[in-house]
Amino acid sequence: MSDRPRACLRNRNCHIDKLRTVFRQPKIITGVWKMAQEHDADISEANARQALQSRR
């Protein structure tokens, strides 16, 4: 079996972990929250944070 599929999977997981780190940053959470509020004023910052952190 080639190492290529395993390397791709490792790279994919690495990239996903990096994106998860980005999505936890306060600037990203606040930006998403502000954009979401344009569509629904009832969305709280806590809702935005939870939505970003629960994406798996």
- 37 CB-near residues (< 8 Å, 6+ apart): 43
Residues spanned by the domain of 42 = 4-54
Q: What is the mean pLDDT of residues 38-56?
A: 81
**Helix and strand counts by DSSP (H, E) for the chain:** 3, 0
Please give the Cα distance from 52 to 21 (Å, whole number): 10
Output the CA angle 48-51-55, nearest 5 degrees: 145
Domains held by the chain: number: 1
pLDDT of residue 8: 62
Asked whether 52 and 32 are in contact (CB, 8 A), the reply is: yes
pLDDT 10s digits, 6-40 = 666 677 777 777 877 877 788 888 888 888 889 99
Give SS3 for 42.
coil
* pTM, full prediction: 0.53
